[in-house]
Amino acid sequence: MNTPLMADELREKIIANPDVLLEDHDVMRALVGAKDERMGANIVDLRGIAMERLEARFDRLEDTHRSVIAAAYDNLAGTNQVHRAILRMMDAATFDQFLTDLSGDVADILRVDAIRLVLESSDPDALSNAGATVAVMPENYVEGYITLGRNMPARQVTLREFHKVGGSLYGDRSAYIKSEACLKIDLGPDRMPAMLVMGSEDPQLFTPQQGTDLLTFFAGVFERVVRRWLA
């Protein structure tokens, strides 16, 4: 009588759940390293399965590796952009120069197609949207613009598709803007809310899935620079 090479209980467990073997690195190394004449012809199939599993894992690892590198590069490039924009913003010797730089060099560095600083005012005579960089709007405009009129708090940074609501903020470029970043600006005690909007013709430049850390940092620096000019 032939003596079974494997206990029935162990054999049944392997047949019922073969992935246990395939996921065990030590077992698979032992099987792959065994001699063909001792292990029989079926080892070829086991090797093939093992190699397919290993190749699939390697491909996933490579994809993850590339994604991590790409994300790190994009983050570094974005950090450099924001730092350069901040330094340029702080170079201005006058407030007029600051506003000119904001819609000029700062916008170019950040690679956006339009920037507007929105201030709120309770004085109807002060309302104006004619300036190239600054728009003075009525009370509660900032909150309503950021939330699109919904009953929800306005986040400090909102990235989204441009909904053509309040499109006059971008003037003649409104028809071409596809995405925007809305930065809620706190100008200090006893001052009404403000907002910095950045519009882009690229629909993917600002999307809700993106991180907001860099723009939050930019908004914090912007607040402090504007407060200095308004002091």
Q: Check residue 79 and give its pLDDT.
A: 85
Closest Cα partner for 198 from 189, 229, 214, 190? 214
Cα–Cα distance measured from residue 172 to residue 87, given in angstroms and rounded to the nearest whole number: 29
Quick check: 129 and 135 in contact, CB under 8 A?
yes
Residue the block writes with tokens 């390697």: 58
Q: Check residue 75 and give its pLDDT.
A: 66
Q: Check residue 186 and give its pLDDT.
A: 93
Closest Cα partner for 27 from 5, 4, 49, 9? 49
Q: Check residue 31 and give its pLDDT.
A: 67
Mean pLDDT by 10 residues, the chain (231 residues): 67 79 72 58 59 74 67 68 92 91 93 93 75 86 90 91 75 88 92 93 92 92 91 77
What is the per-residue DSSP string for the chain?
Answer: -PPPSS-HHHHHHHHH-THHHHT-HHHHHHHHHS-HHHH-THHHHHHHHHHHHHHHHHHHHHHHHHHHHHHHHHHHHHHHHHHHHHHHHHT-SSHHHHHHHIIIIIHHHHT-SEEEEEEE-S-GGG-B--SSSEEEE-TTHHHHHHHTT-SSPPPSEEEEE---TTGGGGGGGGGG--EEEEEEE---TT---EEEEEEES-TTTS-TTS--HHHHHHHHHHHHHHHHHH-
Quick check: 179 and 162 in contact, CB under 8 A?
yes
Q: Check residue 187 and give its pLDDT.
A: 92
Quick one: tokens of 148?
Answer: 């699109």
Residues 6+ apart with CB under 8 A from 143: 154, 193
CA atoms within 13 A on the CB side of 132: 11
User: How much is the pTM?
Assistant: 0.67
Angle, CA 55 vertex, CA 53 and CA 31 arms, to 5°? 50
Q: Check residue 17 and give its pLDDT.
A: 81
Quick check: 114 and 107 in contact, CB under 8 A?
yes
182: number of Cβ within 10 Å: 25
